[in-house]
Structure 1
């Protein structure tokens, strides 16, 4: 839904007021996007430390407060002791051990609640003051609804970890939850860029820009596919095996790549195939980014678009190197969390490059 960016007079007070309002809304949206970035990193830390199943209740209001008495701590601990993760992974670690994993999951959920307020309250303020740019209200309303859905999807994911003989959440639900977080982040950043930069003017882009744009988009969508593939790596803990690079147990394509039946299950449930596919798509992303960077260097004049492509290239290179380091060190929580957080950096840089290379407005 395009925003109404018509201008009546470059120097009129009405235009200056409209531009000031647009910038204020854009900065608010970027702050929300930064909070989502932190939320995704917290989610990675929660998963890697095995903390995600420690809270067995979905209490959107009451859950804003942590346990305030020993009796409440004991009640929550007793609930946790009924699920397979306690029986099969953490049996006997006591209430102090429970508190250690509880706090990270509680912070993750509390941050999500703060995010809701950080979005809703400024939105209402801007709406009351008439500062929401024309055409933007439906998009902002939809983003709020999607944010609420993300909370429900998070609980849907967590609940899968309570099933018999399961000690982690469903990898499919994990990928849905992670994918929705990336989608929300991307939509908010894109909206902020619309407000701050608009579309290129007619005549600002030529055939060279179109060629670079196509190469950047190829790298961007490969990066997005790599992120979703990484969700399945996380979901089935595929990073804890085949901790060598570039070969996997001495082979380019690991043994057992197509062991599961039906064949499609190998894409999501076969540890060897899931890790290999993640490596393969990540490598294709890096190669596509090399091509896009060379094209930008040769074809684009100095400016925001050219610099955005270079920043995207740097983010992809750093993420590739960090992924290798995380794998070789057998996924320590600190590196695993950084790897998930830097994926958001790749997404942000790609959005900036894509936005700057769009076709001019008609």
Structure 2
């Protein structure tokens, strides 16, 4: 009986890990869809109808004609051919397909685990929260796309950041659950103490930084200042004037958004440096390994961020920069997990 329980537990872990990898892959494809300006190529939600791509020239022309009616085509891509349209179509199509796969891959095994009573009660509620967030994420995805179909040539950067941050939240919950299942534990994230808050705060910083990165991407704010360490010839962008307190939180301002994204990165480096000193000073040896992992990923992310900028926003570097941010939040979660008792 014990051997059977171990097998079920392994199956449960493999399922969670595969679910996490699928969401990670969806974020990768979603990022490339944004970077290639492909996200508005399918102008209908088509939850069931859109499972198969167009298979005839007539079908392709119907999709292309629908795309021609939106501002992105009329203002930016009016010279686009059908063959060029197919390229951007497939980016969005594959992103939607992987989203459907995630939903089914998570739902069907969860039903099996529940009705066969193979899932522990302490993990069931977390899985249900993840399922609800996955459904919510699908709705957000369409809500985001709709923002670029009427007046604008791109989607709202606020909705884009909501879409990305929800994906990060889903993966973070999955990651924490996997760590609990593997260690046969029930550690709670929101377990407050002074030292816990110190480690939690890093996770919040990275999460906010990812949101700022989505703002930069959504506004194409990385195209304004492509120099480092200065923005042009100054630390503070010379085209920016702060006249009122409202100007400080104007997240529609391209220069300000890039300025915040840069400086939040510097703050993250400073915070991790202080955390490193704290861990070594207190000689918390069991945190050394997860700390090293965090530091390696942080330096990789810094490197990718700088070179993405000065390369003129190379798509592959930008994609790597985005996807490494997920690894960074995982490493911060991992460090905090080791810290909690």
Mark yes or no: TM-score above 0.5: yes
How many residues are paired up?
336
Give yes or no for the alignment of 1:177 onto 2:159: no
Checking the alignment, whether the CA contact within 8 Å between 1:260 and 1:266 is kept in structure 2 is no
Structure 1 residue 188 corresponds to structure 2 residue 171: no
Trace 1:208-247 onto structure 2 (pairs within 5 A): 211=195, 213-247=196-230
- Alignment partners' CA distance in 2, 1:251 and 1:196: 49
Q: Do 1:219 and 1:292's aligned partners in 2 also have CA atoms closer than 8 Å?
A: no
Compute the TM-score of the two structures, normalised by the length of structure 2. 0.92
Give the distance between the partners of 1:265 and 1:23, measured in 2 at CA.
Answer: 50
User: What secondary structure is seen at the aligned counterpart in 2 of 1:54?
Assistant: coil
* Pair 1:281-2:271 in alignment: no
- Matching of residue 342 in structure 1 with residue 324 in structure 2: yes
2:150 corresponding residue in structure 1: 163
**What is the alpha-carbon distance in structure 2 between the residues aligned to residue 28 and residue 300 of structure 1?**
37
Measure how far apart 1:356 and its partner are: 1.1
1:257 aligns with 2:240: yes
Q: Which residue of 1 aligns with 2:231?
A: 248
Query: Which structure 1 residue ranges, 5 or more long, are not aligned?
Result: 1-12, 202-208
Normalising by structure 1, we get a TM-score of 0.87
Q: What does residue 190 of structure 2 align with?
A: none
Residue by residue over 1:224-247, the C-alpha shift from the partner in whole angstroms, topping out at 9 and shown as x without a partner, is: 111111111111110011101111
Highest RCO, 1 vs 2 (Cα 8 Å, sep ≥ 6)? 1
1:78 equivalent in alignment to 2:78: no
Summarize the Cα distance change of 1:78–1:252 in structure 2 as closer, same or farther, 3 Å threshold. same
Structure 2, unaligned runs of 5 or more? 188-192
Matched, 1:133 2:120: yes
Q: Secondary structure at the match of 2:121?
A: coil
How is 1:1-362 mapped onto 2 (pairs within 5 angstroms)? Answer: 13-14=1-2, 17-18=4-5, 20-164=7-151, 166-199=152-185, 211=195, 213-258=196-241, 263-264=246-247, 266-300=249-283, 302-303=285-286, 305-358=287-340, 360=341
Q: Specify the SS of the correspondent of 2:98.
A: helix
Match of 1:7 in 2: none
1-structure distance, mates of 2:89, 2:168: 25
C-alpha separation in 2, matches of 1:180 and 1:234: 16
Q: 1:43 to 1:353 in 2, by over 3 A?
A: same
